[in-house]
Structure 1
Amino acid sequence: MAKTLWPKSSSARVDSALSAHSVMGLVISALLFVVCLSGAVAVFEDELEWWEQPNTATVESVSPAVLQSTAEEVLRRDPETTHLYVYPPRENWPRMVAGGDNGMYVVDEDGTFVRPLEAKWNEFLIHLHYYLNLPESFGMIIVAIFGVMLVSMAISGLLAHPRIFRDAFRFKRQGQPRLAQADLHNRLSVWTAPFVVAVAGTGAMIGLFLVGALVFAQTNFDGDTRKLSESIFGGEVVEADETPAPITGIDLAVQQLAKDVPGKPPFLIVMHEPGQKSQHIQFYVDHKDRLIYGESYTYSTDGELLATAHNADGPVGQQIAMSMYRVHFGDFGGVAMKLIYFILGLMLCVIIAGGLNIYFLKRREKGRAAPRLEALWSGWVWGCTLFLPVTLIAAILGLSVGWLVALYWIGSAACSLAACALTSAAMAGNVLRVVLGMALMLCVVIHAAVVGGDWSNPYILLSSVSLFVTGAAFAVWPFLRGGFRPVVAGKDLSFTPGE
């Protein structure tokens, strides 16, 4: 027998190493599941933000004069801001929001400031998806690495499947549990592969671009990331002049934009250096035939066109960079595309959960079942899903963002540990499904009681109905499937871990 460099190990040591390896795999999959789950929900961030503050009338259009008065009011409320932001109503989004560096406000069609824009749960959700609630620089790196891993797994999975086209629509739900799980995993992986590569790839590129920018700025621009950005996208088009000046020109610039770019109203207006002599106005205009975030036009307060960013017809790298956001979040094609992204995102979550299911079932077949790890995984999958509506309820009742973060992670971990200590994977999944359904329905009830809302607003009504119907489906599904019969480890696999 050939000699090996590795010392001989006892079976106990081998088992211990395998267990450690399994736990590390669980941790990676657990965090990846959270990233994908939060991303699927975050597709509807605009709708959820409005749902959190529903008592706002719709705004179909605003005049240039209202845009001007809105900017003046923002500067009055936030005199220290270096930028003003106005989001006028746009197609399929009849709402207006404006603010400065220190806060945003909901604005009515006549320019009245209705209330500060506060959507604590939406803020928590976005930070969860972008950074896993970690410090932003570090969290972005971790999430970007997960994006690279997802792309690698999608490509390697396709290369490892020699009959990808022939088996694309073959699905064996019955038979040996592991084979059924593997078949589900493979079919969903094939169907979602283009989506996974596009979404995970753009997410990884966004995160790694920020990391690369920090490194490149340190080595070439003395750590000044602003100089790096200016070298890529261009710098300020007006020389800085801090001489105080009245805030003017937005109404004139809007009118001139309508002449220069007819039929394309801006979806974002940014005034740089407001209240100074060098103030100027930047418009982002939607190009419906392109995936870019938007074309940018910069005007003086006299209505003169100073610069165009050429995001739509500039260098290929610039066009790709400006397309990352919309490809990643499905922010094109309206509500229908968002719904498709949401469904594909949930399918990706099922793929991740199924990967661990297959691993646990293989262990069972080899006589090395790990029921505690199975329960731990099932508790995590359904626990971190459950605590999305739980934190939403807490936000409606007034809990701050910091407490939402603590509640989510502690609650999810508690579900996982309780499942591991007290029950089987199958039973944990069924119980948490029912609780998840009740929490979703309770969101709607508490929201109606505490916040209220304009039920004639289709965005508010559809959001509430969707939450309630989804909750009802989760609550009754285990009973329809007979999921609460006694389960004996290794005997009843009708509900596998995280199914």
Structure 2
Amino acid sequence: MASSIWPKANKRLVDRSLSAHSVMGLLVSAVMFIVCLSGTVAVFEDEIGWWERPTAPVLAVTPEAAQASAERVIATQPDTSHIYLYLPRDNWPRFVAGGDDGLETANTEGALTGNYETPWNDFLIHLHYYLNLPPSFGMIVVAILGVMLVAMAISGFLAHPRIFRDAFRLRRKGQARIVQADLHNRLSVWTSPFTIVVAATGAMIGLFSVIVLVLAQTSFDGNTRPLVEAVFGEEPPPDASPAGLADIGAALAAMPEVAPDADPFLVVLHDPGTAGQHVSIYGEHHDRLIYGETYNFDASGNFMGHEGASDGEAGQQIASSVYRLHFGDFGGLAVKLAYALFGTALCIIIAAGMNIYFLKRAERGAAMPRLFSAWSALVWGTPALFTLTLLASLMGISGTWLPLLFWGGGLVIAVGGGLLADHIRVGQILRMLLWIALLANVALHAAIHAENYGNPYTWITSTIFVLFAIGLFARSLTPGSGKTRLEPSAAE
């Protein structure tokens, strides 16, 4: 047999390279786990936003009140390039108005009643969208993870020819690796449509800017504007000459005639106070997946046309449907609960996949207890850090401090877990931290916002937190809970 052309490898170098490879795989899995878990929680961003900043519900807003709120926004933010009016909906009964420098809640008369700051909700969305990185770069990173997730789902099917035949075979006792493999494979089959749809739409959202740049270079001589306008519609040419504020009220009053089947939920005034200003009203079509059709009006409230998300080219309608399909923002609470269930299953799939890897190594006599423990710390430390950052937000900490607390805390927890080298003990400690922090959040929130607990969004969310904490506490009291080590006995 011919000798290898490669020099004989140093065993220590090989071991170190394998360890480095494992660490990189662990980091990729950890980041993917964080993206999936944050996305699962973000399904309830509206409910969490209500809980974080509870106010009295506003059930309806008249065109006159909308005009009054816009006038108050331009008075407080004279240099804003846009005015935003978020109108109440069935599942979101509040009125929020503002400009480039921030939003405020408003009452039924259009008076601005206070800050609408939801720092933890903003942190969560920024984490899921961008991993708290600069947006243009972070969104691409998250999109690449979406592409990887689609590839993993497809390759998983190809690698397991019996995956459908064994779809309902779930062994909960026996060899630890087999138990984890069954959990990983069964959940992968049951949730595969959800996983592929959510991962693919997330990749589409994240890579849209890249796709636009590439297509602009190949088909539009580097000009991105025609391509963007083909999807989102054309805008009137800008005219910065001073003018009175546009008549938003007239535009809203015309909506029942212009689009009787659309419920307005967002009003955007572009370039307010200029001769080129125009009004865009987003209308929700309840029988469609599109985010909303955009109806455009001039400064006097005269209808100029709609962008075509509801009846335009197929590609335009698909592009407008991606957001709601990705976040489960359709079909009401039942769809949100289904997305939360499937999202949790996806997180379990990722966690079990890494568990299988570590168990296989243990069976071969090459156990990695420190990395296994660090992985356990990341899996349970991520939800624990969510609750700790939420608690910090209630205490007045916001801005860049929340991502610093999350990522810094994650590093400390992972390193600490690795040093402890006991994934069972690490999981127990972090689960205890999780339920304690949940109860602390509810107690502090009740002390701060006691007068707003008549709002169902407030007390229902707090009740769910308490029930989840009780469930975690009860699990810790169950005999034998969390005490069965994942390593086979022969490898210990």
Kindly indicate whether the alpha-carbon contact (under 8 Å) linking 2:74 and 2:80 is maintained by their aligned counterparts in 1: yes
1:120 corresponds to which residue?
A: 119
Percent identity at matched positions?
Answer: 51
Greater alpha carbon shift after TM alignment, 265-274 vs 247-256: 247-256
The residue type paired with residue 407 of structure 1 is L
**For residues 313 and 39 of structure 1, what CA distance do their matches in structure 2 show?**
30
Partner-residue secondary structure (3-state), 1:25 = helix
Cα displacement string for residues 264-290 of structure 1 (whole angstroms, at most 9, x for unaligned residues): 220111112211222221111111121
Map 1:357-396 onto structure 2 (within 5 A). Answer: 357-396=355-394
2:12 corresponds to which residue?
A: 12
Q: For residues 35 and 488 of structure 1, do their structure 2 counterparts lie closer, same or farther at Cα, with a shift above 3 Å needed? A: closer
Q: What is the total number of aligned residue pairs between the two structures?
A: 492
1:431 corresponds to which residue?
A: 429
1:3 corresponds to which residue?
A: 3
Q: For residues 77 and 218 of structure 1, do their structure 2 counterparts lie closer, same or farther at Cα, with a shift above 3 Å needed? A: farther
Kindly indicate whether the alpha-carbon contact (under 8 Å) linking 1:253 and 1:299 is maintained by their aligned counterparts in 2: yes
Kindly indicate whether the alpha-carbon contact (under 8 Å) linking 1:123 and 1:401 is maintained by their aligned counterparts in 2: no
1:211 corresponds to which residue?
A: 210
Q: For residues 279 and 490 of structure 1, do their structure 2 counterparts lie closer, same or farther at Cα, with a shift above 3 Å needed? A: same
Partner-residue secondary structure (3-state), 1:99 = strand
Cα displacement string for residues 360-402 of structure 1 (whole angstroms, at most 9, x for unaligned residues): 1111111111111111111111112210000000000011221
Cα displacement string for residues 283-307 of structure 1 (whole angstroms, at most 9, x for unaligned residues): 1111112111111111123332212
1:415 corresponds to which residue?
A: 413
Greater alpha carbon shift after TM alignment, 244-253 vs 324-333: 244-253
1:470 corresponds to which residue?
A: 468
Shift, 1:445, TM fit: 0.7
Q: For residues 45 and 223 of structure 1, do their structure 2 counterparts lie closer, same or farther at Cα, with a shift above 3 Å needed? A: farther
Map 1:182-197 onto structure 2 (within 5 A). Answer: 182-197=181-196
Kindly indicate whether the alpha-carbon contact (under 8 Å) linking 1:86 and 1:96 is maintained by their aligned counterparts in 2: yes
Cα displacement string for residues 325-351 of structure 1 (whole angstroms, at most 9, x for unaligned residues): 101100001112111111111111111
Kindly indicate whether the alpha-carbon contact (under 8 Å) linking 2:438 and 2:465 is maintained by their aligned counterparts in 1: yes
TM-score (norm 1): 0.94
Kindly indicate whether the alpha-carbon contact (under 8 Å) linking 2:176 and 2:488 is maintained by their aligned counterparts in 1: no
Kindly indicate whether the alpha-carbon contact (under 8 Å) linking 1:427 and 1:483 is maintained by their aligned counterparts in 2: no
Q: For residues 486 and 129 of structure 1, do their structure 2 counterparts lie closer, same or farther at Cα, with a shift above 3 Å needed? A: closer
Map 1:238-249 onto structure 2 (within 5 A). Answer: 239-249=237-247
2:396 corresponds to which residue?
A: 398
Q: For residues 490 and 247 of structure 1, do their structure 2 counterparts lie closer, same or farther at Cα, with a shift above 3 Å needed? A: same
**For residues 358 and 2 of structure 1, what CA distance do their matches in structure 2 show?**
37
The residue type paired with residue 201 of structure 2 is T
**For residues 19 and 452 of structure 2, what CA distance do their matches in structure 1 show?**
53
Map 1:78-97 onto structure 2 (within 5 A). Answer: 78-97=77-96
1:276 corresponds to which residue?
A: 274
Cα displacement string for residues 149-189 of structure 1 (whole angstroms, at most 9, x for unaligned residues): 00001111122222333222221111111011100000000
Q: For residues 488 and 460 of structure 1, do their structure 2 counterparts lie closer, same or farther at Cα, with a shift above 3 Å needed? A: closer
Kindly indicate whether the alpha-carbon contact (under 8 Å) linking 1:437 and 1:474 is maintained by their aligned counterparts in 2: yes
Shift, 1:136, TM fit: 1.4
The residue type paired with residue 5 of structure 1 is I
Partner-residue secondary structure (3-state), 2:103 = strand
2:51 corresponds to which residue?
A: 51
Q: 1:252 aligns with which of 238, 250, 274?
A: 250
Shift, 1:144, TM fit: 0.8
**For residues 391 and 438 of structure 1, what CA distance do their matches in structure 2 show?**
13
Q: For residues 373 and 236 of structure 1, do their structure 2 counterparts lie closer, same or farther at Cα, with a shift above 3 Å needed? A: same
Kindly indicate whether the alpha-carbon contact (under 8 Å) linking 1:424 and 1:487 is maintained by their aligned counterparts in 2: no
TM-score (norm 2): 0.95
Cα RMSD, aligned residues only:
2.2
Partner-residue secondary structure (3-state), 2:4 = coil
1:110 corresponds to which residue?
A: 109
The residue type paired with residue 424 of structure 2 is A
Greater alpha carbon shift after TM alignment, 469-478 vs 33-42: 469-478
Shift, 1:130, TM fit: 0.8
Kindly indicate whether the alpha-carbon contact (under 8 Å) linking 2:380 and 2:431 is maintained by their aligned counterparts in 1: yes
**For residues 221 and 449 of structure 2, what CA distance do their matches in structure 1 show?**
49
1:22 corresponds to which residue?
A: 22
Q: For residues 414 and 71 of structure 1, do their structure 2 counterparts lie closer, same or farther at Cα, with a shift above 3 Å needed? A: same
Kindly indicate whether the alpha-carbon contact (under 8 Å) linking 1:252 and 1:301 is maintained by their aligned counterparts in 2: no
**For residues 42 and 474 of structure 1, what CA distance do their matches in structure 2 show?**
21
Greater alpha carbon shift after TM alignment, 337-346 vs 388-397: 337-346
**For residues 25 and 34 of structure 1, what CA distance do their matches in structure 2 show?**
14
The residue type paired with residue 431 of structure 2 is R
Partner-residue secondary structure (3-state), 1:105 = strand
**For residues 5 and 462 of structure 1, what CA distance do their matches in structure 2 show?**
67
Shift, 1:217, TM fit: 5.1
Partner-residue secondary structure (3-state), 2:281 = strand
